[in-house]
């Protein structure tokens, strides 16, 4: 909202920073976090961005344009401007995987592995004693 109001934010809050207290704090919290980010989020997001948005756009535009638009909306929807480039690239990969297979399970699976991998990697690093905030550049 800060960007929409024309203001420059003092510091961008990364969604991963907000999740850090849950990551590795207990087996239950980590399992629930992986379940939500690794199953529910990919299912919902891929249904919306690839299954609905991209599929709808293909009625009016060529597939590569639809992939780029859905990837851009996907990246913007995460509300983390600092992560836009990598989320956009992930969105492009998910979009082309859906365009090639016409099977929503393909991008859902890729998205699930991506999200779960990030959470599990951060858990391992945190348990090894690394300062995750510092690694993410938000110290």
Pick left, alpha or beta for residue 26 (phi over 0 → left; psi -120 to 50 → alpha; otherwise beta).
beta
> pLDDT per residue over 88-139, tens digit each?
999 999 999 999 999 999 999 999 999 999 888 888 888 888 887 777 776 5
Instruction: Compute CA distances 103 → 21, 44, 46, 91, 95, whole Å.
Output: 36, 15, 11, 16, 11
> pLDDT per residue over 36-92, tens digit each?
999 999 999 999 999 999 999 999 999 999 999 999 999 999 888 888 999 999 999
Candidates 117, 111, 136, 127; CA nearest to 18 is 136
Any idea where the domains of the chain sit in the sequence? 24-135
Residue whose structure tokens are 């690093």: 125
Instruction: Compute CA distances 65 → 72, 98, 107, 111, whole Å.
Output: 11, 14, 18, 21
């Amino acid at each position: 909202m800060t960007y929409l109001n024309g203001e420059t934010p003092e510091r961008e809050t990364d969604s991963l920073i907000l999740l850090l207290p849950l990551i590795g704090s207990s087996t239950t919290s980590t399992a629930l976090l992986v379940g939500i980010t690794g199953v529910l989020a990919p299912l919902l997001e891929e249904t919306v961005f690839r299954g609905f948005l991209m599929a709808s756009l293909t009625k009016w535009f060529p597939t590569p344009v639809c992939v780029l638009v859905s990837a851009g909306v996907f990246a913007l929807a995460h509300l983390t401007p600092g992560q836009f480039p990598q989320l956009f690239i992930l969105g492009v990969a998910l979009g082309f995987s859906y365009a090639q297979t016409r099977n929503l399970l393909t991008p859902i699976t890729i998205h699930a592995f991506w999200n779960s991998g990030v959470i599990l990697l951060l858990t391992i690093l945190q348990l090894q004693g690394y300062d995750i905030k510092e690694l993410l550049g938000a110290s």
